[in-house]
Amino acid sequence: MKKIAFFDTKPYDREYFEKTAHDGLHFKFYVNKLTADTAFVAAGCEGAVAFVNDRIDAEAVNGLCDCGVRILAMRCAGYNNIDLKAASGKLKIVRVPNYSPYAVAEHTMALLLCLNRKLHRAYNRTRDYNFSINGLTGFDLFGKTAGVIGTGKIGQIFIGICKGFGMNVIAYDPYPAEGLDIEYVTKEELFRRSDIISLHCPLAESTYHIIDQDALEEMKHGVFIINTSRGALIDAEALLKALKDYRVGGAGLDVYEEESELFFEDFSGSVIQDDVLSLLVNMPNVIVTSHQAFLTNEALKNIAEVTVGNLQDFFSGRPLKNEISARK
């Protein structure tokens, strides 16, 4: 039986991993995030499982290796939080590349619909028997232009959803998908023409702050911006300023640049020290969800099954189809 240290465990993770057959693996569930300071809890384990906000820098990698861990299974698609160079040759890294692009694409549209039709405000009003609809005017999505940045698995599904609403779609991706009916434009043209901009690219050096002050200044007045990818794609301070100036009409954020110490935890009794986030959360035309776009039954089931499969492949000496390495 191979012992596997499972970091940053939430009840929904545990439920789905426990009900997935995991022959040969014994999960030890820990609530701590995986960082250089917590890696030591994996002592005696040959594998570890981590998630999006764990901080897997060189020190954490070495800490895991010192404990005897040989494989780190990410139970997510993104891997921007891992020092892959530090792991190279010491620690195998696997991930779940595709657990439910529908979950994320549908949440993206949910944020857009809620923001535009002001459902969050209507919900609060009617709970207080306030049946006024003043100030709740939205706009038809039909005929509007959605600009999609990143046309991989999630971006393509979101494009299909937008087309279902009768929207025009334009897209930017340095590696355009072939054989699809997508109008690719430059990033600058996308910023200029879009009524709604949705981010579906990974966080990398080339995409860090892809939406910064300059980009925001190029956009249409009143543009809606939705980010269900990674927080650091947007310069949050620049976005806040653009919202205060009424240049951005609405923002739906499932991710936030400085989310790692906050998201997935309950701070309802605390004073949040992040002023940018506090202001964003309090704006009537901003909706923040805490990195929950992936959170559907189907996605959790797929995450558990693929992660278990990745670990079993490794311990049985089978090829690792979901391996990531510094080269990729």
- Asked whether the beta carbons of 150 and 211 are under 8 A apart, the reply is no
* CA separation for the pair 48, 29 (Å, rounded): 10
For residues 65 and 177, which CB has a smaller minimum distance to ligand NAI in the complex? 177
Helices and strands of the chain, counted as H and E runs? 11, 13
Shortest separation between residue 144's beta carbon and ligand NAI, angstroms: 21
Residue whose token pair is 């510094």 = 326
Active-site residue, 183 included: no
Shortest separation between residue 290's beta carbon and ligand NAI, angstroms: 10
For residues 69 and 228, which CB has a smaller minimum distance to ligand NAI in the complex? 228
Shortest separation between residue 313's beta carbon and ligand NAI, angstroms: 21
Shortest separation between residue 165's beta carbon and ligand NAI, angstroms: 20
Shortest separation between residue 176's beta carbon and ligand NAI, angstroms: 8
From the list 127, 259, 261, 305, the catalytic residue is 259
Question: Cβ contacts of residue 172 below 8 Å, gap of 6+?
Answer: 147, 148, 149, 150, 184, 185, 186, 187, 190
User: Which amino acid makes up residue 149?
Assistant: I
Widest distance between CA atoms in the chain = 64
- Work out whether the CA dihedral 30, 31, 32, 33 comes out positive or negative: positive
In the bound state, the residue with its beta carbon closest to ligand NAI is: 152
Q: How far is the CA of 124 from the CAs of 41, 128, 284, 287, in angstroms?
A: 44, 7, 12, 14
Binding site for ligand NAI (CB under 6 A): 77-78, 101, 104, 149-155, 172-175, 200-203, 206-207, 228-230, 254-255, 291, 293-294
For residues 195 and 254, which CB has a smaller minimum distance to ligand NAI in the complex? 254
For residues 74 and 223, which CB has a smaller minimum distance to ligand NAI in the complex? 74
Active-site residue, 230 included: yes
For residues 63 and 155, which CB has a smaller minimum distance to ligand NAI in the complex? 155
From the list 55, 75, 107, 291, the catalytic residue is 291
Active-site residue, 291 included: yes
Cα dihedral 73, 74, 79, 85, rounded to 10, equals: -20
From the list 217, 230, 258, 318, the catalytic residue is 230
User: What residues are labeled active site?
Assistant: 230, 259, 291
